[in-house]
């Protein structure tokens, strides 16, 4: 079964740091891009950041709201990805989901391709609460 499992959520004071982990199984972890998405209580989904596989240069992308404070990394030998969060703010309080990025490229003929990129599966989420 393909799955990802997050851990590391906690109650922390504003300005402090926290590291979330995401362990993948049932797929070739090193071949997969991984994303983090968060959801504040009663709110919608907010993309936080993505880290690509080594094949794509282990490129990291961040939402503007976390750029410079959050850092993505991965240890493919352990099958774990990390979200290092620093200078935490109360507005960072949310359930943080880890999810695998699936990439599809299908040749349709005549030089045309059908490309798709989606998030699947999602972990169960880990709760981060930033409060004094």
The footprint of other proteins (CB under 8 A) covers 35, 37, 44-47, 50, 61-64, 97, 102, 104, 114-125
What does the block give as tokens for 111?
A: 């030089």
Nearer to other proteins, 15 or 124 (CB): 124
Calculated CA dihedral for residues 86, 88, 93, 94, nearest 10 degrees: -20
CB of 86 to other proteins, least distance (A): 20
CB of 106 to other proteins, least distance (A): 9
Nearer to other proteins, 49 or 82 (CB): 49
CB atoms within 10 A of CB 81: 26
Nearer to other proteins, 71 or 122 (CB): 122
- List the one residue out of 81, 91, 83, 85 whose CA is nearest residue 39: 91
CB of 67 to other proteins, least distance (A): 9
The greatest distance separating any two alpha carbons of the chain, rounded to the nearest whole angstrom, comes to: 60
């Amino acid at each position: 079964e393909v799955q990802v499992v997050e851990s590391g959520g906690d109650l922390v004071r504003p300005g402090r740091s926290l590291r979330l982990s995401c362990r993948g199984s049932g797929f070739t972890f090193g071949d997969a891009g991984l994303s983090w998405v968060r959801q504040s209580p009663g709110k919608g989904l907010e993309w936080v950041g993505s880290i690509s596989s080594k094949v794509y240069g282990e490129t990291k992308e961040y939402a503007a709201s976390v750029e410079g404070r959050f850092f993505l990394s991965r240890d493919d030998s352990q099958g774990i990805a990390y979200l290092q969060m620093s200078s935490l703010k109360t507005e960072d309080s949310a359930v943080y989901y880890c999810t695998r990025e699936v990439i599809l490229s299908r040749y349709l003929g005549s030089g045309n391709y059908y490309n798709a990129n989606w998030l699947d599966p999602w972990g169960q989420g880990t709760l981060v609460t930033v409060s004094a």
